[in-house]
Chains A and B, each alone.
Chain A
Amino acid sequence: MHRYFIFLSLFLASCASIKTVEPLKKGEVKATADLGGPMINFNGIPLFMPLTSIGSAMGISDNVSVFASIHTTSLMYKTFQLETSANTSLFRFDKSGFSANWGAYTFCGLRESKWAFYPYADINYYLHYNNKAHFAYFSFTSMMELHRKKAFDEPVTKRIIPHLTLGHRWVKDNSEWGLELKYLSFNKDNRNIVVDYIAPGNKGSFGFYLSYAKKF
């Protein structure tokens, strides 16, 4: 029976898309498209949820970029989901650096106009190689659950939703391909729910994401 409910994982996935890791140069603009989601067992076959979003990033200065994206899969389910964030450089070395993202997911249901807001913060470490074109990175994300109660006034027990990310970007000219492996919501027990997430120790879910970006 479980296989008929796999799409319920939709928004867990959506709250974990590929973000800006290194600030763009001032005035630089980037268009992005993402595909990916949490990994699930589907009749014994491991799959990742093929969820999509499109977005754009722009360099405000050499140290600060802003980013916005619309989650198109959510839109197909009549939910407008907007992600907005700012990326700032914290420390920059010769081939590596630390950056931070401050952002939020804003949801609005189009069936009933119910709003939800999930702020998050990321700490990123990136490392360039191959003459500074490609880079690998590691991120820690902490998303906040602002609601104290779930359905039927049941208490929300996990107010912090953490993710770990290991990623790589291949950069060629103005194009950038990305691959990310995530460990989503690793503080949450994933047993006895309708979706069979793939993760170690019955906690959270692994996620697999692909991205393409074009710089202008």
Chain B
Amino acid sequence: MRIIFLFSVVVVFLTSCLKMDDFLYNPNEHPIDSYRLQNYTGEVEFRLPDSMALADSMIHLFTMMSNDQGDVKKIYGLYLGDISKIATDTVILYCHGNKDHLDFYYPRAQLLAWVGGKHHYGVMTFDYRGFGLSEGKPSESGLYADADAAMQWLKQKGLTSDRLMIYGFSMGTAPATELSAKPRSLTPSKIILEAPFASAEVFYQDATGIALPGSYVMELKIDNAEEIKSVNQPFLWFHGINDDFISMKTHGEVVFKNYRGVKKYGVRTPGANHSDIPVLLTYDKYRDIIHHFVVGDLQYDDLVKAQ
């Protein structure tokens, strides 16, 4: 009897403990006590030359409230451009990846501020809850709520759906896809995904080498390859051919294939890994592709493909 009781206690303990959901989030690997943005000297994926620096007057850091099913948190947002022109400008909403904070991703937002010329488009980005100095703890529903909070902020400043482009990188492809497929405050008119993952389950199957259900180890869904089927907006996809984190073959290609909307463009970047597509493409080419996509006259060629 004692053995049965002890066995039961062990089983209950073992089956009540762990899931892998939290492993997706990697906030604040390099913690900060304030945002330094252009003056950040910590680890970043790439740095832009001094000639591409932005004027301090065009860098706006602020807080906003994000409501995830009643869980209201103060999160940080960053707008690069002239806030007074949001009512007439086209804006790229950038949803960053799973690491660190706005300081880490600042060069990426800065590069987008040069698409089509300096401050041709406004650029909005934000730290999800639990990232950087934003309050709270990361969660899948929190990613979507926080991206929507950024949309609400833009909407309050006069942005309309037809002038909103959404850009997701890596983990940020989840809110970008979700909010394009199931719009909330605004409906993005175009979607750009860089290094998207198909789903949490594909991560798991890639790692184990067998076709086990993802629910064996996590509750997380993040189902971009399914959500993209409901996206009708024009779609631009970047992926590094040598991406050793989110495989282009098992993740990106599946998302691209599953898209059924009006028009799609795929940029499989030779030599690029997970985080260096703008570098390997060259900044000029990267900006050029995005600009023409936003304008609507991007042409297919040896690099930009329909299939």
Binding site for B on A (CB under 8 A): 1-2, 4-5, 7-12, 15, 72, 74-79, 107, 109-112, 114, 116, 118, 145, 147, 149-152, 154, 156, 158, 161, 185, 188, 191-195
Minimum Cβ distance to chain A for residue B128 (Å)? 15
Query: Which of B25, B204, B209 meets A185, CB within 8 Å?
Result: B209
* Contact status B245-A194, CB under 8 Å: yes
Q: A150-B211, A192-B244 are in contact. Are A7 and B23 (CB under 8 A)?
A: yes
What bracket does the count of chain B residues touching chain A fall in?
35 or more
Q: A116-B213, A192-B244 are in contact. Are A152 and B202 (CB under 8 A)?
A: yes
Among A1, A118, A156, chain B packs the most CB atoms within 10 A around the CB of A1
User: Which residues of the partner chain A approach B247 to less than 8 Å between Cβ atoms?
Assistant: 192-193
* Contact status B217-A79, CB under 8 Å: yes
Tell me if B208 is interfacial: C-beta within 8 Å of chain A: yes
User: Which residues of the partner chain A approach B254 to less than 8 Å between Cβ atoms?
Assistant: 152, 154
Number of A-B contacts (CB under 8 A): 127
CA distance A8 to B212 in the complex (A): 11
Minimum Cβ distance to chain B for residue A14 (Å)? 9
Query: Which of A4, A8, A147, A191 meets B204, CB within 8 Å?
Result: A8
| Chain-A contact segment, one of B10-18, B276-284, B285-293 | B10-18
A-facing mask of B242-272, CB < 8 A → 1, else 0?
1111111110001000100000000000000
Query: Which of A76, A109, A114 meets B17, CB within 8 Å?
Result: A76
* Contact status A107-B216, CB under 8 Å: yes
Tell me if B98 is interfacial: C-beta within 8 Å of chain A: yes
CA distance A61 to B281 in the complex (A): 67
Q: A5-B203, A154-B250, A154-B254 are in contact. Are A188 and B209 (CB under 8 A)?
A: yes
* Contact status A110-B217, CB under 8 Å: no
Q: A1-B98, A76-B14, A152-B202 are in contact. Are A158 and B209 (CB under 8 A)?
A: yes
* Contact status A156-B211, CB under 8 Å: yes
* Contact status A112-B215, CB under 8 Å: yes
Query: Which of A1, A11, A154 meets B210, CB within 8 Å?
Result: A11
* Contact status B212-A75, CB under 8 Å: no
A-facing mask of B208-249, CB < 8 A → 1, else 0?
111111111101000001100000000000000011111111
Tell me if B19 is interfacial: C-beta within 8 Å of chain A: yes
Q: A7-B217, A78-B217 are in contact. List 12 more A-B contacts (CB 8 A).
A: A4-B23, A7-B20, A8-B203, A11-B210, A78-B18, A79-B216, A107-B216, A109-B216, A111-B215, A114-B213, A151-B201, A192-B245
CA distance A1 to B26 in the complex (A): 7
* Contact status B207-A4, CB under 8 Å: no
Minimum Cβ distance to chain B for residue A23 (Å)? 27
CA distance A193 to B245 in the complex (A): 6
List 17 A-B pairs, Cβ < 8 Å. Answer: A8-B20, A10-B217, A77-B20, A109-B215, A112-B213, A116-B211, A150-B211, A151-B202, A152-B226, A152-B254, A161-B210, A185-B209, A192-B244, A192-B245, A194-B203, A194-B207, A194-B246
Minimum Cβ distance to chain A for residue B227 (Å)? 12
Lowest 8 A-B CB distances belong to which pairs?
A: A8-B207, A147-B211, A192-B247, A75-B14, A79-B216, A193-B206, A114-B213, A150-B211
